[in-house]
Amino acid sequence: MKFINKLSFIALSFMLLTACDSTELDLLDNPNAITPDKVSINDLYNNIQLTFANVYSGAQFGPGAAARMYHASGFTYEANTTPNSYNGLWDASYTDLFEDIETLLAITDEQGLNIHSGSAKIMKAYTLMVLVDLFGDIPFSESGQGTDIISPKLDDGSTVYSEAIKLLEEAINQLTDTNAALPAYNNVYSSAASWITLANTLKMRAALTTRLTNSSAAAEFKAVLDGGDFIDNAGEDFQFNTGNQRINPNSRHQFYNNHYELGDGNYLSNYYMWKLRADKTIGDSTILIDPRIRYYFYRKVDNSTNQDLTVYSCHFSEAPIPRDEVANLDFWEDIDDRLPYCVAFEDGYYGRDHLNGSGIPPDGPIRTSYGLYPGGGSFDGNSFTDTRQLGTSGGLGEGIWPIMLSSFVNFMRAEAALVMGTGEDAKEQLELGIRASMAKVSSFESLVPTEMAAPSRPPTSANPEPPTVKEAFGMTAEDIDNYVSYVLSSYDAADDAGKLDIIITEYYLAAWGNGLEVFNSYRRTGYPGNMTPALEQQAGQFPNSFLLPNNHVDRNANVEQKTLSDRVFWDDGSANVY
């Protein structure tokens, strides 16, 4: 293990220093060397959880940007993602998370702390699959060997996936019927049974992800279904919970830190906001607004098209103009002639178009912010105020990282039923997924009871008791029913390709805060089908996978840099991605 090799290296250093003469140093422990018997299990396990959350958050933004969930900067994909983009993620995974897990296992396996061991193996298995999803072939069999192997070879992604499944099986065996003590603090689950449920769900995820190249995928997926133990309700959701503490330490959600302090914060994706605000239409003119939009996004202005010219950087014009008047974007018509340009929608939704690498104007006061879900920001109740208030507004950052939710599993089951013949009703799972997502999102109202109970507008003599923000703008059962009815009617009218597009699109909209799953779904299916193109027609190579981090390539004699066109083992290239 790397941990033991570190100890050996320290010992060797002392031997070299004292090769001829014995000194009192030979009789002393090295005070800087942490040996297994000196490790605090609770502290180590807590650090593993925190590192795992950091790995997840670091892994999901780039894929989410490629899939237009988040804004991708730069005018080309090559400018947006470079060999430096994932140095931090790589080091956090291999140097921190995996090493800490191996150190933990060396102690907990010996002491019979099966819940510590099993849950750590599940976190490692998930991370290994994510690294394969992002980079393709990665070090595994020779990694973590310290000075014994300083240039580990790359293992085939399919092999790493298989090894991750073995880790999940090991974890399930350890966790089944165990009477081991629980960790002193667990951010995610408080029982061995819940971790087993997650492990089975991750096996389901692996089967669906690899279905294009894995002839056993349908059987593997169905085996989990038939077993019946997988995430199927919100109480089993695999999420990392963030806190509301601002300093010492800052425990808040990254979304909140980004938009609710003093900085302008990231641009949000115009396309993703438009998908919720204006993509669904009834007839020629009536728009069906997604009930989640006020929970996902917070608008600072009520009109995003009548601002001063100095705040815009539309690239092809000084100010927002109708998209069909932008001659340079004629090629967008082949996708969807309704796609937004420069702003997501005129009633205040203001972000940036895909791969707009223009300079940054003074647009902080009008930039749409992350909302209440999942980052613990503010609910959009038409107050139109600046969110940059030194971390004093909204839910104070007490949110979640939605890693694997019950709604996600419903959409996975819907896809599997439609294209893998798993025997379930795809339409039923589609509806369950939408309703589970709505319930999850609306539950965040409990973080901001004062905001939700505030008057929706100032009292007047004619209306001395205006409705509350919750009454005026909150999600209602009728809103949800209308949305579900629209989606299911569209599903009934579609052919099989259209049905799959609808399932993946609804997954896409429910997965806000998880760019990993939508990136995988997009590469696997090519949906949503009206994905906005880049601003410039020659935007370079879409990242079928990402470049290996410089930290790894520069230090490893057995590794050469790959290209963005290289596909991961489960991607057969059948989907149209751009």
Say which CATH number the domain at 74 has: 1.25.40.390
Q: pLDDT per residue over 17-31, tens digit each?
A: 333 343 343 334 444
Residue 243 lies in a domain: no
- Is residue 148 within 8 A of residue 535, CB to CB? The reply is no
Residue 274 lies in a domain: yes
The residues near 175 (Cβ < 8 Å, ≥ 6 apart) are: 114, 115, 118, 119, 192, 193, 195, 196, 199
The residues near 563 (Cβ < 8 Å, ≥ 6 apart) are: 541, 547
What's phi and psi for 402, nearest 5 deg? -80, 90
Residue 301 sits in the same domain as residue 219 = no
Residue 209 lies in a domain: yes
Report the DSSP beta bridge partners of residue 10. Answer: none
What's phi and psi for 171, nearest 5 deg? -65, -45
Residue 17 lies in a domain: yes
What average pLDDT score do residues 519-542 get?
Answer: 97
Q: pLDDT per residue over 367-392, tens digit each?
A: 999 999 999 999 999 999 999 999 99
Q: In Å, how far from its chain's centre is CA 101?
A: 22
Integer Cα distance of 576 and 49 in angstroms? 37
**Domain of residue 25, residue span:** 1-32
Q: pLDDT per residue over 396-448, tens digit each?
A: 999 999 999 999 999 999 999 999 999 999 999 999 999 999 999 999 999 99
Integer Cα distance of 446 and 455 in angstroms? 17
Integer Cα distance of 578 and 574 in angstroms? 13
Residue 132 sits in the same domain as residue 17 = no
328 confidence band (pLDDT: 50, 70, 90): very high
Residue 4 sits in the same domain as residue 119 = no
What's phi and psi for 537, nearest 5 deg? -65, -35
What average pLDDT score do residues 513-530 get?
Answer: 98
Residue 11 sits in the same domain as residue 89 = no
Residue 197 sits in the same domain as residue 304 = no
Residue 14 sits in the same domain as residue 128 = no
Specify the pLDDT at position 10: 32
Residue 289 sits in the same domain as residue 172 = no
Specify the pLDDT at position 14: 32
32 confidence band (pLDDT: 50, 70, 90): very low
E-assigned strands of 281-399? 281-282, 286-287, 297-298, 369-370
Integer Cα distance of 143 and 68 in angstroms? 33
Report the DSSP beta bridge partners of residue 139. Answer: 154
35 confidence band (pLDDT: 50, 70, 90): low
- Is residue 577 within 8 A of residue 522, CB to CB? The reply is yes
Boundary of a domain, candidates 500, 525, 550: 525
Residue 318 sits in the same domain as residue 357 = yes
Q: pLDDT per residue over 209-253, tens digit each?
A: 999 999 999 999 999 999 999 999 999 999 999 999 999 999 999
First to last CA, the chain: 42
Boundary of a domain, candidates 525, 550, 570: 525
Residue 302 lies in a domain: yes
Specify the pLDDT at position 34: 53
Residue 77 sits in the same domain as residue 8 = no
Query: Residue 430 is part of a domain; what is its CATH number?
Result: 1.20.120.840
The residues near 487 (Cβ < 8 Å, ≥ 6 apart) are: 430, 431, 434, 502, 506
Integer Cα distance of 274 and 350 in angstroms? 10
Residue 364 sits in the same domain as residue 398 = yes
SS3 content of the chain, % helix, strand, coil (to 5): 50, 5, 45
Boundary of a domain, candidates 502, 525, 548: 525
Residue 333 lies in a domain: no
Q: pLDDT per residue over 93-138, tens digit each?
A: 999 999 999 999 999 988 999 999 999 999 999 999 999 999 999 9
* Domain count across the chain: 3
Residue 136 sits in the same domain as residue 178 = yes
15 confidence band (pLDDT: 50, 70, 90): very low
Integer Cα distance of 164 and 142 in angstroms? 15
149-552-87 Cα angle (round to 5)? 140
Q: What is the pTM of this model?
A: 0.93
Residue 334 lies in a domain: no
- Is residue 99 within 8 A of residue 47, CB to CB? The reply is no
What's phi and psi for 455, nearest 5 deg? -60, 140
DSSP 269: B
Which of 528, 545, 543 minimizes the C-alpha distance to 74?
543
Q: Distances from the Cα of 116 to the Cαs of 43, 52, 181, 235, 400, in angstroms?
A: 12, 14, 8, 21, 22
Specify the pLDDT at position 8: 39
Residue 435 sits in the same domain as residue 512 = yes
Residue 337 lies in a domain: no
Give CA torsion, residues 169, 175, 176, 178, to 10 deg: 150
Q: Distances from the Cα of 50 to the Cαs of 45, 376, 401, in angstroms?
A: 9, 18, 12
In the numeric block, which tokens belong to residue 114? 């099966």
12 confidence band (pLDDT: 50, 70, 90): very low
Q: How many CB atoms lie within 10 A of CB 559?
A: 18
Specify the pLDDT at position 21: 41
489 confidence band (pLDDT: 50, 70, 90): very high
Specify the pLDDT at position 193: 98
